[in-house]
C-alpha cells in the first residue's frame, strides 16, 4: 500500500508522524473538498506514541487546520464516559446497576405493562430497557430540543408512560441515559457534571474537556458546519450525560490510552467493567456504553462509539489486542466513522459519502 507522510505539530516541534494510509488521507481531504466536512482531525495512539492528522479548517473565517488542541463537540461519545462513571460507582458500592431502577427513581414503578419486566442502570447503559429513543413530550425535530427540558418534564413523561416494547431487545435510547443521570444525582446528592469531572475527566488528564468551554479556551473552539453554513453550539440544558461534552483529539487519546492499557489510572477496573459484555444478541454486542464489533475474517474485536450533534460528528474506537486507539473528530454532518474503523481494521470498506 502506498503511504502518505503527514506533518504534525507537537508543542513547538514539527515531526514526521506515523504513516497514514493514502486511501484514508485521500478520503479525509476529499470529503473536505467536496463540502461534506469543514474540517477533520484524526488521532491515533499505539505502543509507539500518539499521532495527529489535520484536514480542512476550523471555521469559515479561519483557514487553520484543526489540531490536537482544537475543541469539538463529541456528542454521544459522552455516553461512554457516563458509563465509566457508572462502573466506578458500582465498584465502590455507591450504586447498584442491576437492581430495579425504581430503587433510585420510584416514579419508574408505574411504567411496566408486564410485571416481569424490569429496568436497571445496566439495561439503560446497554440500550436494552425498551424505552424509546427520546422522551415523547418534546419535539424530535428541534436540534436543541433538550435546551428547555427539565427534570419536571422528565418526571411528567415517566409518570404516564407505559413500555411499548419488551425489555431485553436492543433499542438505542438517549432517554435511557437521561434517566441514568437523574438516578446518579438522586443517589449521590451531587450533580452529574461535578461527579464526571472530578471522578473521570480529571483522573484521566483530560485537561481540555468541558461541558461549557471557559473563556480562556474559546479561541480553540471549532465551529460546527451543516448545509454549507456554520451552526450554533449545542445546548442540552439540564441533561448533559448523553452528549454534552466538548473535547480535543489530545484528550480523547488520553482516554483511549487508559482504555487500551498504555497508561494506568485509578479507573482501570471501571474501564475493564465497561469493556465486558453486558448484552449480546444476533446483531448487537454491548459493553457498558461501548458498542463491540467483531470482525471475523481479520479476527479483530473493536470497541467503539459514534457521536453526532447538529454541526459535528465523531468516532472513538480501540482494539485491546493490538493496543491501538483512534479518534476522528469532524465539523460536519456525515458520520464517516469508516475512517476510524479502517484504521483499526484495514479490511473495513470505505463508504461513498451521500449528501443529506
pLDDT tens digits along 22-64: 999 999 999 999 999 999 999 999 999 999 999 999 999 999 9
The Cα 111–Cα 124 span in angstroms is 14
Query: Taking the mean position of all CA atoms in its chain, how far away is CA 37?
Result: 19
Average pLDDT, the chain: 90
The answer as to whether 326 is a domain residue is no
Q: Which residue has the higher pLDDT, 25 or 140?
A: 25
- Measured in residues, the chain has a length of 356
Residue 33 in any domain: the answer is no
Residue 111 pLDDT > 70: yes
Mean pLDDT for the stretch of residues 165-171: 74
pLDDT in the model for residue 13:
32
Residue 132 lies in a domain: yes
244, with CB counted inside 10 A (0-12, 13-18, 19+), is buried
Asked whether the predicted pLDDT for residue 17 surpasses 80, the reply is: no
pLDDT at site 118: 85
How many distinct structural domains can be found in the chain?
Answer: 1
Q: Is the pLDDT of residue 296 over 80?
A: no
Tell me the average pLDDT across 320-333. Answer: 96
Q: What is the mean pLDDT of residues 250-272?
A: 98
Is 8 a residue whose pLDDT tops 50?
A: no
Query: Is residue 304 a contact partner of residue 337, using CB atoms and an 8 Å limit?
Result: yes
Output the pLDDT for position 356: 52
Range 161-189 average pLDDT: 88
Judge whether 109 lies within some domain: yes
Q: Is residue 335 part of a domain?
A: no
Q: Which three cell numbers stand for residue 109?
A: 414503578
More confident residue, 289 or 110: 289
The whole-number pLDDT of residue 224 equals 96
d(CA 237, CA 143): 12
Q: Which residue has the higher pLDDT, 114 or 250?
A: 250
pLDDT score of 115? 53
Interval 332-355: pLDDT, tens: 988 789 999 999 999 999 987 765
Read off the pLDDT of each residue in 229-241 and give the average, rounded to a whole number: 92
What is the domain extent for residue 102? 80-195
Report if residue 214 sits inside a domain.
no
Q: Is 261 inside a domain boundary?
A: no
- Which grid cell sits at 60? 469559515
pLDDT at 184 over 60: yes
Residue 129 lies in a domain: yes
16, pLDDT greater than 70: no
Please give the pLDDT value at position 71: 98
- Looking at the predicted structure, is the pLDDT value of residue 14 above 50? no
- Region 252-264 average pLDDT: 98
230-234's contacts with Cβ under 8 Å and 24+ in sequence apart are 230/59, 230/60, 230/311, 231/143, 231/310, 231/311, 232/144, 232/310, 232/311, 233/73, 234/73, 234/75, 234/143, 234/144, 234/309, 234/310, 234/311
Q: Is the pLDDT of residue 12 over 80?
A: no
pLDDT computed for residue 140 by the predictor: 77
User: How much is the pLDDT for 1?
Assistant: 35
Amino acid at each position: 500500500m502506498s503511504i502518505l507522510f503527514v506533518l504534525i505539530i507537537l508543542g513547538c516541534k514539527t515531526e514526521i508522524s506515523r504513516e497514514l494510509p493514502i486511501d484514508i488521507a485521500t478520503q479525509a481531504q476529499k470529503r473536505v473538498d467536496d463540502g461534506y466536512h469543514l474540517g477533520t482531525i484524526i488521532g491515533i495512539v499505539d505502543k509507539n506514541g500518539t499521532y495527529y492528522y489535520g484536514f480542512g479548517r476550523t471555521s469559515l473565517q479561519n483557514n487553520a487546520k484543526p489540531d490536537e488542541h482544537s475543541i469539538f463537540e463529541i456528542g454521544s461519545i459522552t455516553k461512554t464516559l457516563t458509563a465509566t462513571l457508572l462502573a466506578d460507582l458500582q465498584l465502590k458500592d455507591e450504586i447498584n446497576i442491576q437492581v430495579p431502577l425504581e430503587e433510585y427513581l420510584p416514579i419508574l414503578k408505574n411504567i411496566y405493562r408486564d410485571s416481569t419486566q424490569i429496568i436497571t442502570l445496566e439495561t439503560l447503559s446497554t440500550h436494552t430497557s425498551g424505552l424509546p429513543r427520546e422522551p415523547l413530550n418534546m419535539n424530535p425535530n428541534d436540534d436543541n430540543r433538550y435546551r428547555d427540558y427539565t427534570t419536571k418534564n422528565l418526571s411528567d413523561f415517566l409518570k404516564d408512560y407505559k413500555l411499548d416494547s419488551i425489555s431485553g431487545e436492543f433499542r438505542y435510547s438517549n432517554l435511557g441515559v437521561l434517566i441514568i443521570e437523574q438516578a446518579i444525582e438522586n443517589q449521590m446528592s451531587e450533580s452529574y457534571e461535578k461527579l464526571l469531572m472530578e471522578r473521570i475527566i480529571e483522573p484521566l488528564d483530560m485537561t481540555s474537556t468541558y461541558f461549557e468551554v471557559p473563556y480562556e479556551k474559546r479561541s480553540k473552539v471549532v465551529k460546527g458546519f451543516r448545509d454549507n453554513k456554520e451552526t450554533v453550539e449545542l445546548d442540552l440544558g439540564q441533561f448533559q450525560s448523553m452528549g454534552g461534552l466538548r473535547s480535543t483529539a489530545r484528550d480523547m487519546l488520553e482516554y483511549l490510552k487508559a482504555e487500551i492499557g498504555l497508561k494506568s489510572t485509578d479507573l482501570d477496573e471501571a474501564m475493564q467493567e465497561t469493556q465486558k459484555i453486558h448484552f449480546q444478541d444476533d446483531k448487537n454486542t454491548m459493553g457498558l456504553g461501548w458498542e463491540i464489533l467483531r470482525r471475523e475474517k481479520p479476527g479483530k474485536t473493536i470497541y467503539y462509539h459514534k457521536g453526532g450533534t447538529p454541526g459535528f460528528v465523531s468516532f472513538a474506537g480501540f482494539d485491546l489486542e493490538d493496543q491501538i486507539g483512534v479518534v476522528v473528530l469532524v465539523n460536519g454532518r456525515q458520520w464517516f466513522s469508516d475512517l476510524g474503523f479502517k484504521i483499526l481494521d484495514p479490511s473495513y470498506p470505505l463508504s461513498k459519502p451521500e449528501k443529506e
